C-alpha cells in the first residue's frame, strides 16, 4: 500500500497528455489546474477501485475483473461511460487475442523450423554414417584382396 498520499497520484506526464488531448489547440492550463485535475483523477481511480473491490468481495473473489469495474461505474452513477468503456474493453480484448494468435503462430513457425533443422541434421548424420560404412566395406574388400 502507499506510504504517502503523493504515492497515490497518477504520473504527471500521463495527466498532462490526457489534458492536452481533451483541450482544443492553443488552450493552455495552469500548473495549479493541472495539479487539481491530477488529484481529482487519483481520487476518482481510488473510489472506482474501492467500489469495484466491493463487487469482487460480494463475489468472494480477491481479483477485480472488468465486470466489477463496469458495475462500480453504474453504482457511482457514471452510466454514460459504461458503453465507451465496454467498447474500449472489447477493442483491448481483440488486440490481446491478435497478439496471442501472432505469438502462437510465431512459436509454431519456430518449432517447424527447428524440426526441419533437426531432420536435416539427422539426414546429414545418416549420410555420414553410410559413407563411413562404405569406406569400411571398401577397406575390408581391399584387405581381403
* pLDDT category of residue 2 using cuts at 50, 70 and 90: low
- Nine-digit cell at 139? 577397406
The predicted model gives 16-45 an average pLDDT of 92
pLDDT of residue 18 exceeding 80: yes
Provide the residue ranges of all domains of the chain, joining segments of one domain with +: 1-77, 81-145
> Which one has a higher pLDDT value, 4 or 123?
123
Give the per-residue pLDDT at 145: 61
- 3-state SS of the chain is CCCCHHHHCCCHHHHHHHHHHHCCCCCCCCHHHHHHHHHHHHHHHHHHHHHHHHHHHHCCCCCCCHHHHHHHHHHCCCHHHHHHHHHHHHHHHHHHHHHHHHHHHHHHHHHHHHHHHHHHHHHHHHHHHHHHHHHHHHHHHHHHC
Q: What is the mean pLDDT of residues 121-140?
A: 79
**Predicted confidence (pLDDT) at residue 139 exceeds the cutoff of 70:** yes
Give the pLDDT confidence of 49-87 residue by residue, as tens digits: 999 999 999 999 999 999 999 999 999 999 999 999 999
Q: What is the pTM of this model?
A: 0.62
CATH number of 1-77: 1.10.20.10
Please tell me the predicted confidence (pLDDT) of residue 71: 95
Indicate the pLDDT class of residue 122, thresholds 50, 70 and 90: confident
Return the top range by mean pLDDT from 81-90, 101-110, 122-131.
81-90
Amino acid at each position: 500500500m502507499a506510504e504517502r498520499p503523493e504515492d497515490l497520484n497518477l504520473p504527471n506526464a500521463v495527466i498532462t497528455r490526457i489534458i492536452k488531448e481533451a483541450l482544443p489547440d492553443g488552450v493552455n492550463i495552469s500548473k495549479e489546474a493541472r495539479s487539481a485535475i491530477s488529484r481529482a483523477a487519483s481520487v476518482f481511480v481510488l473510489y472506482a477501485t474501492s467500489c469495484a473491490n466491493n463487487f469482487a468481495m460480494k463475489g468472494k473473489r480477491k481479483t477485480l475483473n472488468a465486470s466489477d469495474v463496469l458495475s462500480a461505474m453504474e453504482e457511482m452513477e457514471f452510466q454514460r461511460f459504461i458503453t465507451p468503456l465496454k467498447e474500449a474493453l472489447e477493442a483491448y480484448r481483440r488486440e490481446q487475442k491478435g497478439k496471442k494468435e501472432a505469438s502462437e503462430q510465431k512459436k509454431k513457425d519456430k518449432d517447424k523450423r527447428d524440426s526441419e533443422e533437426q531432420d536435416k541434421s539427422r539426414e546429414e548424420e545418416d549420410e555420414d554414417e553410410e559413407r563411413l560404412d562404405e569406406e569400411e566395406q571398401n577397406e575390408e574388400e581391399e584387405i581381403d584382396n
